[in-house]
Amino acid sequence: MVKPDWIAVDWGTSRLRAWAMAADGAVLAEGSSADGMGALDPDGFEPALMRLVGGWLPDTGAPVPVVACGMVGARQGWREVPYRPVPCAPLGGGMAVTTADPRLSVRILPGLSQATPPDVMRGEETQIAGLLSHMADFDGVICLPGTHTKWAQVSAGEVVSFQTFLTGEMFDLLATRSVLRHSVGGGALDRAAFAGAVTDAMTAPQKLAARLFAIRAAGLLEGLPEAEARGRLSGLLIGLELAGAKPYWLGQNVAVIGAPDLAGLYAEALKGAGVTVAVLEATSMTLAGLGAARRGRGDA
């Protein structure tokens, strides 16, 4: 019988993930579902949450605190939680949501916004807070690769500025919905082809659309293997991003927070550009950040 001290929730556009947490930070149980924000109407959020965590709730007693981050706080989410403008600490405040079940006490964390250039994040601020909970003195740049990769400049415990790149979404669309889907397969990628394409894109970023089609042409004319084609596609897009994010990483202390495979690609590409990075696993940082919010650290 799981008896959580509190429940951690990472609620993104496509996935809902929940963890039953002990007071000492240990994970007692976990679950996930496809009930992402994008699949739910406003009145669908509490039932979706209960399907995952209902079995962890006691029959009586005080309600169990639930701390949630991510797109659940967007305009199309459970309840809109206004962005907090940078520069600011990654965590602050949050908004309580009234639930039909009295055993829940839900709080949704706010994302961050930036006025110039306009930018937003929801969820990554919690991972940044997780990193700071381990390394309070971190001063440098954090890269959070994903569907919408974020680069954040962090100093004195605050997010100073950040910039989002549509790289992951472009990769998914090109790999699965464009003419390149015939060329890149769905398997592993060739590391040498990846590294070469990173260099190509950083050297001549304006050639992107031509080099993308060249992957298809090389498949038709030369029988380019799928793993090499996939490596080139990934390398061209990540290389383009690194060229654009150079003002962030050049000469900086860089940490990459992400899923191991993807974070490893970014680390490899940055290493090729002469930058040494620390790689941190995304789920650990999310849980550490939600834990910090639970303890009230950094709250406004």
The Cα 94–Cα 101 span in angstroms is 20
C-alpha to C-alpha distances, 207 to 156, 202, 246, nearest whole angstrom? 39, 10, 18
Stretch that binds a second copy, among 61-69, 153-161, 191-199, 202-210 (CB under 8 A): 202-210
167 near a second copy (CB under 8 A): yes
Whichever of 62 and 221 has its CB closer to a second copy, that residue is: 221
Is there a contact between 145 and 280 (Cβ–Cβ < 8 Å)?
no
Stretch that binds a second copy, among 20-28, 46-54, 164-172, 264-272 (CB under 8 A): 164-172
250 near a second copy (CB under 8 A): no
Report the nearest approach of a second copy to the CB of residue 51 (Å).
Answer: 26
Residue selected from 27, 173, 188, 300 as contacting a second copy according to rule CB under 8 A: 173
204 near a second copy (CB under 8 A): yes
5 near a second copy (CB under 8 A): no
Is there a contact between 236 and 201 (Cβ–Cβ < 8 Å)?
yes
246 near a second copy (CB under 8 A): yes
The Cα 228–Cα 128 span in angstroms is 34
Of 100, 95, 40, 30, the closest CA to residue 69 belongs to 95
Report the nearest approach of a second copy to the CB of residue 194 (Å).
Answer: 17
From the number of C-beta atoms within 10 Å of its C-beta (0-12, 13-18, 19+), residue 297 rates as: middle
Q: Please spell the DSSP secondary structure of 92-123, one letter per residue.
A: ---EEE--SSTTEEEEE---EEETTTTEEESS
Helix (H) or strand (E) holding 254: strand 254-258
Give the x/- contact pattern for a second copy in 214-243, rule: CB under 8 A: x--xx-xxx--------------x--xx-x
Q: Which residues bind a second copy (CB under 8 A)?
A: 75, 83, 113-115, 117-120, 148-149, 163-167, 169-170, 173-174, 177-180, 202, 204-210, 212-214, 217-218, 220-222, 237, 240-241, 243-246
